[in-house]
Structure 1
Amino acid sequence: MTVGSEAVSPPARAPRRRRGVRRLSRRDKTVAALLLGIPLLLDLVFIWLPALGSVGLSFTKWNGVGGLHAKACLPNVPSILNNGCLYGVQNYHQAATIYPEFWPAVRHNLIWLAVFILVATPLGMLFAVLIDRGIKGSRMYQSALFLPVMLSLALIGIIWEFLYSQNFGLINTVLGRNGNSNAIDWLGDPHLNLWAVLVEATWRQAGYVMVLYLAGLKAVDPTLREAARVDGANAWQTFWRVIFPTMRPINIVILVVTVIESLRAFDLVYITNKGINGLELLSVLVTSNIVGETQRVGFGSALGVVLLVISLVPISVFLFQTFRREEAR
């Protein structure tokens, strides 16, 4: 007798349950609130409140807490903290018309920016290209060129003072003018000190730009180089026609960083001669008016607002380009 075998059907699968959104517990909400709230609070306290406070103070004539009573204010205006008053746009008008150091400071900042763009940035790009090609000793060169970036600007100023010193400096010693009447006063001569300090700043900025360009070069697709080599392009043509256009985001970042660094330059000139006698900069004028002997807080705040507005221009351009590129994708 044959026994028929019945086909065994596979067990029916249980219907999949749709995964629901996991509800956050009270502990998760507390942790998220702390992680978001603490940085936001610090940002408000240390960045936004001082910035908005400076904008407000720029429309006042205030000599600081405990200062002398402000005089020559506009008529019929309310008093502020018993030693200041609302002053309108008079601080900005005085800065542009009767403050003698304002326009020289603007000119020096523009010279600083031009040197960074025309000298420091090409040097940093050249260093990055040479190191990226894997020359012998590239690690050593990279460390040596990046060393000034790791040093504080105050220390860089002290190092270069030993080089520029009129009495025992290395440069005057090499020129044979050390300790005599023909010694060059690199940091005291108003016709030379700006360019001498710019050499210090360029020494540091070139290393910074080199690191940024190295990061951009490492991110370039190697197949682009191979394709250019197959097409018969030499190293110069490969870089300018293939590699450089692909580093457009890095170029924008470097441009923004260069503008900001040139506007906030402070340490080197303040160490040299406190930003006077040919080294006037906007950042130094802000400091000298707010915490200096005169303590014209309202006027110094107006200069700080001018510096802030100038700084926001390249940042706004960078953000506009970035968001437009993201929308295009």
Structure 2
Amino acid sequence: MASKRKYKGIDQLSKRDKIVVSLMVIVPTLLVLWLVWFPAVGTVLLSFTNWDGIGPLSGIKPVGLQNYIDIATIYPPFWPAIQHNLIWLAVLFFIATPLGILFAVLVDRGVSGTRFYQTSIYLPVVLSLALIGFIWQLIYSRDQGLLNAITGGTTDWYGDPDVNLWAVLVAASWRHAGYIMLLYLAGLKGVDPSLREAAKIDGASETTTFFRVILPVMRPINIIVIVVTFIESLRAFDIVWVINKGRNGLELISALVTQNVVGEASRIGFGSALATIMLLISSVLVVIYLRIAMKED
């Protein structure tokens, strides 16, 4: 008879094991508290104050909701930044994400040169958005850019406020599509082949099979993609900051936070209020995702 493995309870562990287990719990908890929760709570508290971040802590003056009132009423870049973030979300969700799904389906089907295409599409994902901004500068440059050389135009794609947001979104979508492809490709590899066979026997086309059988099965992946896309649209920062520091048509909430916290006129309280607004918006979808995930478990 095979011997059954016995697992010790916490009370049965040796003193040394208890110390090890305690350290494995306490150390990560302290790191999370110090690196995540302490800054988050501190940001929320500072959002109700007026402080330049340079003087002593005694110089912090409580102002109540005044920072939030000023943001909504007398801070011109705020509402354009909200609009730009919504446009960013719409483009990533309705254009870049479907492109990523299409790439994943094509690669999963094993088209000729699959490894080459998979590597090429995924390669931008390993690059930072700041570096991608510099790469696309070679295409968008007004005087020496590839795009103007082909079209014969003189458009300043990064400098013209009427087009620079859309030009940046093309670069951001180039990266985002590769990330979505990777997520869905992993999901497609885990789908039971018998589902495809059953749908084929029933006479369903490949398109019908994907949308009515395969995609619903990958519901966890779908939820993750929605959350990732939502958060990516909010925390977009690198590429617009290296272009013009989030000004002249490229206003985003994240750029406004940086302008006020570490900019020329440092306003820690005001910037913290903007960061708190970002935190609240991003938390909505994350909480919905966690509720769905926990309910399924």
The TM tier, using the shorter chain, reads over 0.9
More helix by share: 2
Which residue number corresponds to residue 285 of structure 1? 256
Question: 1:73-131: CA deviations, max 9, x gaps?
Answer: xxxxxxx8243310000000000011001000000000000001100110000000011
- Displacement of 1:174: 1.0
Instruction: State whether structure 2 residue 242 is matched by structure 1 residue 266.
Output: no
- The residue aligned with 1:37 is 26
**Amino acid across the alignment from 1:212:** L
What is the aligned partner in structure 1 of residue 124 from structure 2? 148
What is the distance in 1 between the residues matched to 2:47 and 2:225? 31
For structure 2, the residue ranges without an aligned partner over 5 or more in a row are none
Aligned-pair CA distance for 1:320: 0.8
Paired residues in the alignment total 293
- Give the distance between the partners of 2:84 and 2:294, measured in 1 at CA: 33
- Which residue identity is paired with 2:273? A
Q: Which runs of 5+ in 1 are unaligned?
A: 1-15, 67-79, 178-182
Q: Alpha carbons of 1:20 and 1:266: their partners in 2 closer, same or farther (altered >3 Å)?
A: closer
CA deviation vs aligned residue, 1:220-271 (integer Å, no higher than 9, x gap): 1100000011111111111111111111111000000000000000000001
Q: Scaled by the length of structure 1, what TM-score is found?
A: 0.86
Alpha-carbon distance in structure 1 between the residues aligned to 2:83 and 2:130: 23
Identical columns (%): 58
User: Residue 114 of structure 1 aligns with which residue?
Assistant: 90
Match of 1:307, SS? helix
Looking at structure 1, the residues matched to 30 and 141 of structure 2 have their Cα atoms a distance apart, in angstroms, of: 46
Q: Which amino acid aligns with 1:299?
A: F
The offset of 1:202, in angstroms, is 0.1
- Greater RCO (CA < 8 Å, at least 6 residues apart): 2
Query: Following the alignment from structure 2 to structure 1, what is the Cα–Cα distance between the partners of residues 294 and 29?
Result: 23
Q: Which amino acid aligns with 1:135?
A: V
Hey, what does 1:302 align to over in structure 2? 273
2:206 matches 1:249: no
Instruction: Quote the Cα distance in structure 1 between the aligned partners of 2:57 and 2:210.
Output: 61
Residue type of the alignment partner of 1:100: P
- Residues of 2 paired with 1:103 and 1:270: CA distance? 18
Q: Secondary structure at the match of 1:63?
A: coil
Q: Which has the larger radius of gyration?
A: 1
Task: Give the 4+ runs in structure 1 shifted more than 2 A.
Answer: 18-22, 80-84
SS at match of 2:110: coil
